Structure 1
Amino acid sequence: MTGNLNVAIIQEDLIWENPEANRNLFSQRFEQLNEQVDLIILPEMFTTGFSMNAENLAEPENGKTLSWMKDNARKYDVAITGSVIIEEDKNYFNRLFFVYPDGSFKKYNKRHTFTLAKEHLTYTAGTERLLVEYKGWKICPLICYDLRFPVWARNTQDYDLLLYVANWPKTRVNAWDALLKARAIENMSYCIGVNRTGEDGDGYVYNGHSAVYDSLGILQSSEDFEKTFIQEIQLNKEHLNETRNKLRFLEDRDEFTLK
């Protein structure tokens, strides 16, 4: 199947360190979605906000949030992705789940922990990139600070969609805007960034700017950047393939391996 992909991005003011309240909030948002949605994208640490309080907030992988994601994926016949605080083998991870409509899932641990906020002192960094195949699309999901490292995101596996879930603060949103667009252009893929809004418990302010760019870096989203919103947008596989076949920029990419 090589058709279009209907994506819903949910930009929300997260409730600080309150997983149950955030799950309930997103459950309400899901009820507002169109039946044709294929993929729902939630922000980074969507049940807690960007918290270093992992000792008190972490769940086991088979905890309430993943079960909630599975239940809703089955209920709405949709894939759902976003990151959660997970404890495994006495280590904490900022872990993204990609849950398929049948409840099966894949996972990605954030590779670049945000040293400015001392994330590296709490969370263990991931070592492997994830490539998801879904409805004829190859998707590479990454997390927030990963956006600043283009080598990690480089399109060496011919993915069609690069996506970032984030808690990216207002003070540096200029970089968020520029880098999302750059990742789309250099990788000749769609690039989606889903951020949060509001103020967290540590006093950091977030102003959203969730966005969807096509392979030429053209902005596809049309919502007010800074408000809480749900946006549904259709990604066009034919347009992507036509652009790649016409320009063939990926054929000139550098060969390299990551250690």
Structure 2
Amino acid sequence: MIIDCHCHAGKGDGLTQPADTSAPLGRYLARAREANIDRTIIFAAFSDGYRLANREVARIVAGNPDRLFGFAFVHPVVDKGRVEMMIREAVVSLGLVGIKVHRHDGRITREICEAARRYRLPVLYDVMGEVSVAEILAHEYPDVPFIIPHLGSFADDWKAQSALIDHLVRHRNIFTDTAGVRRFDILEEAVKRAGARKILFGSDGPWLHPGVEIAKIEALGLNPEDRAAVLGGNVLRLVSRVQGFSAVA
């Protein structure tokens, strides 16, 4: 099974760029099908109201349950004091299977990590190059899987990406995804040093083409077992911890 672990969906509130305005799935789903992607994890675009945005994500998933899973987006600042309530609703009522946090909104908090621990959820945390936080998260919450997307930096910061590889090697609960990683040699190094079990395929759809992003995985020349792990097995293992999760297509 091929699973794209990183795709946005729905409307945003910012109206300053695509990431905070609109993430329509129509063309993405067609492209994903052409690329033989079986399932996709979606989460909201940037929003001032993630509780409602998460409900919209759940509605989108419910409309296409054979192809989509959902993660709950939370804002470290705006949602302070109500994260546990939001995550409880997301898991119990909405059927979402992970948490998304972005440094653009604020730095990750204990409140978020405690909720992830309580509901056995993976956390996709975009650190925007601040990869040193992986050291703290790995020690403070060793039982929570943290996925640091873009190999640590969507901004093509090779220093941050290289530094994240060290965390992937040393910490069993730190993972990364391949979405938008442009320096192929660094991605290749990450697989070589940290192993295929620490790398998840992601596209950062709908704005990046999933077929283009999956081509990077094929170019790695992995053996069949490692290829299967990167393309879906790894993320499936992380979300399968969530109570009530089903991967039946």
Q: What is the TM-score with the length of structure 1 in the denominator?
A: 0.48
Structure with higher helix content = 2
Structure with higher strand content = 1
